[in-house]
Amino acid sequence: MMGTVDTSDSEKGFVMNQPTTPSMEMLDAEANKELDAGAKFVLKSKGSWLHCGYHLTTSIVGPAILTLPYSFTLLGWVGGVLWLTLAALTTFYSYNLLSVVLEHHAQLGHRQLRFRDMARDILGPGWAKYYVGPLQFLLCFGTVIGGPLVGGKSLKFIYQLYNPDGPMKLYQFIIICGVVTLILAQLPSFHSLRYLNLLSLILSVTYAACVTVGSIYIETCNPLDVLLLLVSTTGHSKHAIPRHYSVKGSNADQLFGVFNGISIIATAYACGIIPEIQATVAPPVKGKMLKGLCVCYSVIGATFFSVAISGYWAFGNEAGQTILGNFFDQENNPLLPKWFFLMTNILILVQVMPMTAVYLQPTNEIFEATFGDPKFGQFSVRNVVPRVVLRSVSVAAATLLAAMLPFFADIMALFGAFGFIPLDFILPMVFFNLTFKPSKKSIMFWGNTLIAVASSILVVIGGIASIRAIVLDANTYHLFADR
pLDDT in tens, 180-204: 999 999 999 999 999 999 999 999 9
Q: Are 459 and 414 in contact (CB under 8 A)?
A: no
| 54-63, 135-144, 222-231: which is most confident | 54-63
Q: What CA–CA distances, in Å, run from 97 to 2, 127, 283, 293, 424?
A: 8, 19, 19, 12, 10
> Tell me, what's the pLDDT at 88?
95
- This prediction's pTM: 0.85
Q: Are 128 and 120 in contact (CB under 8 A)?
A: yes
Q: Are 423 and 456 in contact (CB under 8 A)?
A: no
Average the pLDDT over 332-352 and give the result. 86
Residue 163's pLDDT band, with cuts at 50, 70 and 90, is confident
Per-residue pLDDT at 480 exceeds 90: no
Average the pLDDT over 37-43 and give the result. 89
Side chain identity, residue 24: M
H-helix segments, 372-424: 381-404, 408-415, 421
Per-residue pLDDT at 22 exceeds 50: no
Task: Enumerate residues 6+ apart whose C-beta is below 8 A from 314.
Answer: 215, 216, 218, 219, 241, 243, 326
Q: Is the preceding omega at residue 284 within 30 degrees of 0, hence cis?
A: yes
Measured between its terminal Cα atoms, the distance across the chain in Å is 42
**47 strand-pairing partners:** 281
Furthest-apart CA pair in the chain: how many Å? 79
Per-residue pLDDT at 415 exceeds 80: no
The three-class DSSP label of residue 375 is coil
Average the pLDDT over 34-56 and give the result. 91
Residue 146's pLDDT band, with cuts at 50, 70 and 90, is confident
Per-residue pLDDT at 37 exceeds 80: yes
Domains in the chain, ordered, with CATH? 46-476 (1.20.1740.10)
Per-residue pLDDT at 427 exceeds 80: yes
Per-residue pLDDT at 231 exceeds 60: no
Least confident of 79-93, 179-193, 335-349: 335-349
Residue 222's pLDDT band, with cuts at 50, 70 and 90, is low
> Tell me, what's the pLDDT at 17?
40
Q: What are phi and psi of 400, to 5 degrees?
A: -60, -45
The three-class DSSP label of residue 328 is strand
For residue range 115-124, list pLDDT tens digits in order.
999 999 999 9
Side chain identity, residue 254: Q
The count of residues in the chain is 483
